[in-house]
A = this chain, B = another copy of it.
Amino acid sequence: MRKIIKNSPVPLYYQLKEILQEMIDNEELKPNEPIPTERELCEIHGISRMTAREAIMALVNEGVLYREQGRGTFVAGPKPKYRLTELRGMTEDMERMGHRVETEILSFATAQATKTIRSLFGLEQDDALVYRIERLRIVDGEPYALETVWLDAERLKGMSRERLEGRSLYDVLRRDYSLQPRSARQTFEPVIMSDYEASLLRVDPGSLALLFHQTTYGESEEVIEYVKSIYRVDRYKFEIFLKS
């Protein structure tokens, strides 16, 4: 390992950060292998632990390293290359385009709402309950999105896994609860899939994906649902039409 230069104008933590990055690039440190411990790095370079930590934490923040308390600090897996794909339509068009769409309910739970979810639904009680439903969307037998839906349990009493089985959520909301989705606000961003998500969607861990956050509003602008969805992007392309 290259050594830190003590009297350099370059901060010590920054030098160490560069050294570690270099070793990862040169594969002296390989993915999922541990890097030297904080205390070892202190020894090697003659620096204090807080300084070593600063270098490590910077790389953790960049996703280059990950840490596990009691075990060590490890090199994160490499980021995949992007592959260009065929042009395809989007979710709603799927059935219209003659594709077979299935939904597998992975979990159905009643849980205490987090602060974020509470403020979203305008729930005041600290112990307000929500349904948290995880669903796997499947098109023509291939999984293509992983969805987590939050619903206000107070408003939607009697919701159950069985009630959702084989029906669309919107159908249940409309017919069983007289809730008509009117508008939605959706944000999206690129993400790297976690191992869990990748295995469910049957793609390589670390694949690129699109993460959507959707808040759906009803007729009186009340929040009906909050949805977090991860879409794979290797088989489908997302398309928007804009008009002036």
Q: Judge whether B87 and A244 touch: CB under 8 Å.
A: yes
Pick from A37-45, A65-73, A153-161, A204-212 the stretch touching chain B. Answer: A204-212
CB within 8 A of A241: which of B184, B188, B191?
B184
Q: Judge whether B206 and A190 touch: CB under 8 Å.
A: no
Question: Is there a chain B Cβ closer than 8 Å to A82's Cβ?
Answer: yes
A20 CA to B169 CA, complexed, in Å = 38
Chain A, 51-104, CB within 8 A of any chain B CB: 61-62, 79-82, 84-88
Residues A187 and B81 in contact in the complex (CB < 8 Å), given A50-B50, A62-B204, A204-B62: yes
On chain B, the residues within 8 Å of A233 by CB distance are 189-190
8 more contacts with CB within 8 A, not counting A87-B187, A87-B244, A187-B237, are A50-B50, A81-B187, A82-B189, A86-B244, A88-B244, A183-B243, A184-B242, A189-B208
Q: Judge whether A208 and B187 touch: CB under 8 Å.
A: no
Identity of the chain B residue whose Cβ is nearest the Cβ of A183 in the assembled complex: B243
A: contact size bracket: 35 or more
Q: Judge whether A86 and B242 touch: CB under 8 Å.
A: yes
Instruction: Report which A residues bind B (CB closer than 8 A).
Output: 50, 61-62, 79-82, 84-88, 180-192, 204, 206, 208-210, 233, 237-244
Identity of the chain B residue whose Cβ is nearest the Cβ of A18 in the assembled complex: B115
A181 CA to B87 CA, complexed, in Å = 24
On chain B, the residues within 8 Å of A191 by CB distance are 82, 190, 208
Q: Which of A82, A239, A244 has the most CB of B within 10 A?
A: A244
A192 CA to B189 CA, complexed, in Å = 12
CB distance from A208 to the nearest CB of B (A): 4
**The 9 A-B residue pairs with the shortest CB-CB distance in the complex, in nearest-first order:** A190-B190, A87-B242, A87-B244, A184-B242, A190-B208, A186-B240, A183-B243, A82-B191, A187-B237
